[in-house]
Amino acid sequence: MAFVCRSFGVVLWELLIHEIPYKDVDSSAIIWGVGSNSLQLPIPETCPEGLKLLITQCWSVVVVVVVVVVVVVVVFVVVVVVVVVVVGGLIL
């Protein structure tokens, strides 16, 4: 769902700017940059504040989802380790 929101923000940006996003950037750099939130499309100063807010909110959702996924993975790993240690201790 977050990537749909991110994509909607990019479509809004395209409608505003009338350009191809990331046109001079390698596709692997786009994937990395968007995933790590280090690659941002420029929003012009002439952009209406409401539209600017909507675009930036669409783009910030990705960061929240990435953080949530990392937290879930860490919690899962900790639970698996605890279960292995407890079950291993019971078997011995």
Integer Cα distance of 33 and 53 in angstroms: 21
- 3 close to 37: Cβ distance less than 8 angstroms: no
Banded model confidence at residue 26, pLDDT cuts 50, 70, 90 = very high
Number of Cβ within 10 Å of residue 6's Cβ equals: 19
Q: What is the three-state SS of 30-51?
A: HHHHHHCCCCCCCCCCCCCHHH
pLDDT band at 7 (very low <50, low <70, confident <90, very high): confident
